[in-house]
Amino acid sequence: MIRRFKTVIPAVLALGAFAPFAAQATDPLSYSFIEGQYVNSKLKASLGATKVDDEFDGYRGAFNVSVYKFIYVTGESDKRRPSTYRFGTQSIGLGGHTDNRLMQHLQLFGAATYERTLVNDVTRAPGATDDADEGYGITAGIRIPYDSFEFDGSYRYMSYGDTNGTKVTGDKFGAGVLVQLTPFFGLTGGYRRLDFKNLRGAAGLKDQFDEWTVGFRAYFATDIDRYRRRGGFFGTGE
């Protein structure tokens, strides 16, 4: 099943290249949406001389809600399903973005978030228990919108403080594309990489997740974010 999705994801990304550049959106880029994605994840882990390579799937959910002018609340949760445990990350926080009336097809954003990782449902390890780390994250990113598609890229630094005497940190790089089908609904696809160091307090432990995602995004209106959306292959937004 994983290999079938590997052929679907590049196809979704390629579709963005054929989206029309015609009439450009005149309304600000919306920051109120929900998103759901399938995740294909490949893990490379090392603990001293011990190396682990594994491939598995999972899921991701995310939301953004505009609350005041260019301020928004953001959150996401994901879960991966290796054969002997489950590993997930969660975050929630506050972000801000620039006004794309200054740069029509370029919008910068940033966010500060509470971060959490959770390892649970551990099997084949007698006496193993669930393990969680908590900390903060700082995100910087870019969105490049057009009428029927959008590109985005971001970087997040994560710090989980000290766990059993070792400092736990992480990095998340992401890049993706949205193919807008209607003014309020689109397909998404992308690549992201997560790096964790000294995760779960084991000295010298490094986990690297290379992940492809594919899914959907649905926009909605709030009292702040009531912009008329346009574009999409099957809608005008009027």
d(CA 10, CA 20): 19
Give the residue, 163 or 146, on which the prediction is more confident: 146
Q: Residues 169-178: pLDDT tens digits?
A: 899 999 999 9
d(CA 56, CA 191): 15
Report the percent of the chain where pLDDT is more than 90: 43
Q: What is the DSSP letter of 81?
A: -
Give the model's confidence band at 46: pLDDT under 50 very low, under 70 low, under 90 confident, else very high. confident
Kindly state the helix (H) or strand (E) to which residue 51 belongs, with its residue range.
strand 50-68
Give the residue, 12 or 138, on which the prediction is more confident: 138
Looking at residue 118, what is its pLDDT? 86
Domains of the chain: 2-219 (2.40.128.90)
pLDDT at 125 over 70: no
User: Is residue 103 exposed (0-12), middle (13-18) or buried (19+ Cβ within 10 Å)?
Assistant: exposed
Give the model's confidence band at 186: pLDDT under 50 very low, under 70 low, under 90 confident, else very high. very high
Looking at residue 110, what is its pLDDT? 97
Looking at residue 132, what is its pLDDT? 80
Q: Residues 76-91: pLDDT tens digits?
A: 999 998 777 788 999 9
pLDDT at 37 over 70: yes
